[in-house]
């Protein structure tokens, strides 16, 4: 169903698509021809438009810049061999955006604006959706506070925007991750469970310190005891320990990832044992010493499935089994890719057709 919303559409006079190899661009740096914008003022959503991708005219006093009233989503569209474009589980992103909006005292975006804008935008920019095996069009919806005001208060005006960019792999290689026990990503009662822009900004310094030690990412631990694992970088974290898929249980410090949910759904469908629970650093050290950790990987929209090569903890490094032999994450990666590209049956009804 395409939602009914009145969108003013201004098409570009000059498409840039032929100037770019959409199957071969760095992640997040090349933007498609058009963008969608809906504006909120006077207590209601006002006009919606699609226009050529362009810079934003804004005030240096814009409140999103000063106090971080800014939230976002990430999702992906795929093209099948026959040229059909479908988005992976967009209604889940729609719901999560509004969960984020409530927590950040922002107005919720109506479904007809989110879905209507998204579908019209993708129809217009369908040529930007990569056809390569691992390619997709990364979609970035975001909501920002736009009041020109320095006082700390919820803004009265907002913009909901969708931009898109063709994307290949987020990580070109399996990653090494360092368990972080000093800096934290999220605290109980905080905003770790939503996609607030500030969650990402605060992660950069600890990540840089880990990178200086030869790691690509950190594994965040809980803010109270620093002894339980939470997420890895911008991804949810999963292990296969023995014959069980184990992942940290959702809480208000962990993002309810849509890739996380999809991977767990497939594991359950395949009859695997799945545990969503607390995972302590000690458990990982012990399981590794006994050779029981078969797999570790991050899951997220941008990275999809990111195998973890090894895990550092203080001055200890835990090497994990070779990625090529990891049954579960390789099977899940291939299955998701096939569902998304229309090569496998979409039994769960995850793909939302655009054209
Ligand atoms: C995603 O996986 O889409 C993310 O949110 C990660 C990132 C690119 C911020």
CA distances 129 to 33, 89, 123, Å, are 12, 17, 10
pLDDT exceeds cutoff 60 at 3: no
Q: What is the pLDDT of residues 211-229, one digit of tens each?
A: 999 999 999 999 999 999 9
Cβ contacts of 207-213, under 8 Å, gap ≥ 24: 207/233, 210/177, 210/178, 210/180, 210/312, 213/178, 213/312
Q: How many CA atoms lie within 13 A of 270 on its CB side?
A: 18
Residue 346: inside a domain: no
Specify whether the CB–CB gap between 105 and 143 falls below 8 A.
Answer: no
pLDDT of 343 over the 60 cut:
yes
Model pLDDT for residues 29-73, shown as the tens digit of each residue:
999 999 999 999 999 999 899 999 999 999 999 999 999 999 999
CA of 270 to the centre of ligand 1 (A): 27
Is there a single domain that holds both residue 253 and residue 154? no
Tell whether 202 and 260 lie within a shared domain: yes
Quote the pLDDT of residue 56. 96
Using alpha carbons, list the distances in angstroms from residue 130 to 17, 30, 85, 339.
11, 12, 10, 16
Domain final residue, candidates 151, 168, 185:
168
Q: Give me ligand 1 centre to Cα 252, in Å.
A: 18
Are 198 and 125 within one domain?
Answer: no
CB-based burial, 200-209: b 16+ in 10 Å, e otherwise: eeebeebbee
Domain co-membership, 164 together with 15: yes
Q: Residue 213: give the domain boundaries.
A: 175-340
CB of 302 shorter than 6 A to ligand 1:
yes
Are 262 and 335 a contacting pair, CB within 8 Å? no
Write the pLDDT tens digit of every residue in 152-166.
999 999 999 999 999
CATH number, domain of 195, equals 3.20.10.10
User: Taking the CA atoms of the chain, what radius of gyration do you get in angstroms?
Assistant: 21
Asked if residue 196 has pLDDT above 80, the reply is yes
Kindly state whether residues 279 and 317 are assigned to the same domain: yes
CA–centroid distance, residue 303 to ligand 1 (Å)? 7
The closest alpha carbon to 250, from 308, 309, 193, belongs to: 193
Let me know whether 143 and 192 are in one domain. Answer: no
Q: Give the per-residue pLDDT at 5.
A: 80
Nearest CA to ligand 1 atom 5: 74
pLDDT reported for residue 198? 97
- For 256-286, what is each residue's pLDDT tens digit? 999 999 999 999 999 999 999 999 999 999 9
- Residue where a domain terminates, one of 126, 147, 168: 168
Report the interhelical angle of 258-269 vs 327-340 (nearest 10°).
Answer: 110
**Shortest-distance atom of ligand 1 to CA 74:** 3
CA angle, residues 296, 297, 298, in degrees to nearest 5: 145
pLDDT band at residue 172, thresholds of 50, 70 and 90? confident
Ligand 1 centre to CA of 188 (Å) is 22
Question: Of 300, 265, 278, which is closest to residue 195 (Cα–Cα)?
Answer: 300
Find out whether 160 and 113 touch, Cβ atoms under 8 Å.
Answer: yes
193 domain residue, yes or no: yes
Q: Is the CB of 74 under 6 A from ligand 1?
A: yes
Q: Check pocket membership of 233 for ligand 1, CB cut-off 6 A.
A: no
**Average pLDDT, integer, range 198-217:** 97
Query: Same domain for 101 and 149?
Result: yes
Q: Which atom of ligand 1 is nearest to the CA of 170?
A: 8
Residues 154 and 55 in one domain: yes
Atom of ligand 1 nearest to the CA of 235: 2
Give distance in angstroms: CA of 43 to centre of ligand 1. 30
Cβ of 63 closer than 6 Å to ligand 1, yes or no, is no
Q: What is the mean pLDDT of residues 84-97?
A: 98
Q: Looking at the structure, do residues 40 and 123 belong to the same domain, yes or no?
A: yes
- The pLDDT value given to residue 1: 43
In this prediction, residue 183 has a pLDDT band, given cuts at 50, 70 and 90, of very high
pLDDT of residue 355: 87
Whether residue 169 is predicted with pLDDT greater than 60 in this model: the reply is yes
**Mutational pocket test of ligand 1: of 88, 201, 235, 302, the residue with most ligand atoms within 8 Å of the beta carbon:** 302
Contact 301 CB / ligand 1 (< 6 Å): yes
The count of domains in the chain is 2
Nearest alpha carbon to residue 137 among 78, 177, 85: 78
pLDDT tens per residue across span 111-128: 999 999 999 999 999 999
Are 7 and 121 a contacting pair, CB within 8 Å? no
For residues 308 and 210, what is the distance between their CA atoms, to the nearest angstrom?
Answer: 15
Of 168, 184, 202, the one marking the end of a domain is 168
Considering the domain architecture, whether residues 118 and 258 belong to the same structural domain is answered as no
Q: What is the pLDDT of residue 2?
A: 47
């Amino acid at each position: 169903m395409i939602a009914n919303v009145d969108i003013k559409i201004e098409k570009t006079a000059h498409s840039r698509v032929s100037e770019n190899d959409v199957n071969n661009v760095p992640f997040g740096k090349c933007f498609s021809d058009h963008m969608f914008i809906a504006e909120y003022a006077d207590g209601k959503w006002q006009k919606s438009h699609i226009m050529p991708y362009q810079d934003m005219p804004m005030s240096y006093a814009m409140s999103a810049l000063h106090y971080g009233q800014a939230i976002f989503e990430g999702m992906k569209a795929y093209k099948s061999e026959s040229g059909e474009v479908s988005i992976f589980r967009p209604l889940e992103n729609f719901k999560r955006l509004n969960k984020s909006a409530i927590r950040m005292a922002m107005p919720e975006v109506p479904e007809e604006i989110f879905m209507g804008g998204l579908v019209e935008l993708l129809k217009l920019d369908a040529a930007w959706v990569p056809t390569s095996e691992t390619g997709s069009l990364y979609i970035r919806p975001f909501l920002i506070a736009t009041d020109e005001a320095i006082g700390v208060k919820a803004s009265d005006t907002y913009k909901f925007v969708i931009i898109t960019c063709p994307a290949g792999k987020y990580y070109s290689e399996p990653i090494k991750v360092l368990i972080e026990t000093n800096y934290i990503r999220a605290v109980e009662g905080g905003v770790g469970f939503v996609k607030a822009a500030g969650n990402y900004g605060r992660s950069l310094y600890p990540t840089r310190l880990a990178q200086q030690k030869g790691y690509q990412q950190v594994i965040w631990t809980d803010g109270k005891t620093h002894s339980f694992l939470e997420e890895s970088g911008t991804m949810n974290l999963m292990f296969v320990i023995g014959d069980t898929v184990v992942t940290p249980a959702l809480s208000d410090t962990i993002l309810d990832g849509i890739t996380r949910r999809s991977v767990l759904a497939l594991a359950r469908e395949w009859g695997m044992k799945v545990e969503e629970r607390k995972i302590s650093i000690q458990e990982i050290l012990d399981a590794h010493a006994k050779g029981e950790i078969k797999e570790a990987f991050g899951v997220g929209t941008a990275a999809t499935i990111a195998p973890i090569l090894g895990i550092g903890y203080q001055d200890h490094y835990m090497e994990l089994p070779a990625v090529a032999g990891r049954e579960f994450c390789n099977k899940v990666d291939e299955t998701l890719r096939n569902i998304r590209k229309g090569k496998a049956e979409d039994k769960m009804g995850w793909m939302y057709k655009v054209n």
